[in-house]
Amino acid sequence: MRFAVHQDDGGATGYALYRHGSVPDGLGGSTVVVQVLELAALSRPAHAALWRFLTGIDLVSRIDYEGAVDEPLPHLLTDSRAVQSTLVDRLWVRPVDTGRALAGRCYTLPLDVVLDVRDDFCPWNTGRHRLQAEGGVVVCEPTTAPADLRLTPAELGAAFLGGTALTGLAAAGLIEELRPGALALASLAFHSDREPWYPGGWAFPLY
């Protein structure tokens, strides 16, 4: 394991954990690879400087990195097509208590929507829930009010971390909009600025 630390006048502002060595190339030989296990930075300059260091290591054929879908690395390179990404299923969310789950996250817009959740596996989770978000105050409680959206925990879990749009799930017939306009507003409110991620797999060649 090797470590790279970025510093400015105020101290450390970023770091990278990586391995550097030869791996079999599948053809009877070997290739030199840098495997980045973790990279974190407090600023854009620190993030760019760490990648400049990692991509500048001599005699390396490939860098492997487990990163987010919206990792800005491709836009830092002269040739963004040098990055070869593969999407993998690594992160699942399955709400078993809709009220607590939805009340425990933030929303990008004020929201007042009633969700009709159908949960065959966890019957206690079935029912209508009124989700209200205003500023930093979020409340999600059982209600008898008419439902605005009908969905299951599968769709709720897909949208929970902010990367999957409720509108996209509805377009596939997985969410039923019962009050016009509720879907678009809820989809925007659930969205996050960054894609959710769990360490996956990236690889790009350096020539």
pLDDT per position as a tens digit, 62-93: 999 887 888 899 999 999 999 988 877 777 88
150, 84: one domain? no
Say whether both 105 and 152 belong to one domain.
yes
Q: What percent of the chain has pLDDT over 70?
A: 95
Q: Examine the domain organization and report whether 152 and 117 are in the same domain.
A: yes
Whether 73 and 122 share a structural domain: no
pTM for this model (two decimals):
0.74
Sorting pLDDT into bands at 50, 70 and 90, what band is 182? very high
State the Cα–Cα distance between residues 68 and 43, nearest whole angstrom.
Answer: 17
Q: Is residue 26 located within the same domain as residue 78? A: yes
Residue with tokens 């299951």: 152
Q: Domain total for the chain?
A: 2
Cα–Cα nearest to 40, from 3, 90, 69? 3
- Determine contact, residues 151/168, Cβ cutoff 8 Å: no
Residue 51, C-beta contacts closer than 8 angstroms, at least 6 positions apart: 39, 73, 76
What is the pLDDT, as a whole number, of residue 204? Answer: 47
Whether 20 and 35 map to the same domain: the answer is yes
**Which pLDDT does position 70 carry in this prediction?**
85
Determine the structural domain holding residue 78 and report its residue range: 2-90+197-205
Residues 6+ apart with CB under 8 A from 16: 3, 4, 36, 38, 39, 50, 53, 54
Confidence of residue 199 (pLDDT cuts 50, 70, 90): low
pLDDT value of residue 207: 38
Judge if 109 and 171 occupy the same domain.
yes
**16, 108, 166 from 188: Cα distances, Å:** 34, 7, 8
CB neighbours of residue 28 within 10 Å? 6
Q: Are 62 and 113 members of one domain?
A: no
- The per-residue pLDDT for 107 is 96
Q: Where would I find the H helices in the chain?
A: 44-55, 73-76, 98-103, 153-160, 166-171, 182-190
Q: pLDDT value at position 206?
A: 45
pLDDT tens-digit profile of 13-54?
Answer: 999 999 998 887 778 888 889 999 999 999 999 999 999 999
Strand partners, 63: 34, 204
Q: Summarize pLDDT for 109-166 with one digit per residue, the tens.
A: 999 999 999 999 999 999 999 999 998 899 999 999 999 999 999 999 999 999 899 9
Helix (H, G, I), strand (E, B) or coil at 31: strand
CATH number at residue 53: 3.40.630.30
Q: Are 142 and 128 spatial neighbours (Cβ–Cβ below 8 Å)?
A: yes
Q: What pLDDT score does 24 carry?
A: 79
78, two tokens = 């002269």
Q: Phi first, then psi: what are they for 53, rounded to 5°?
A: -65, -50
d(Cα 158, Cα 92) in Å, to the nearest integer?
Answer: 8
Distances (CA, A) of 97 to 119, 123, 139: 10, 10, 13
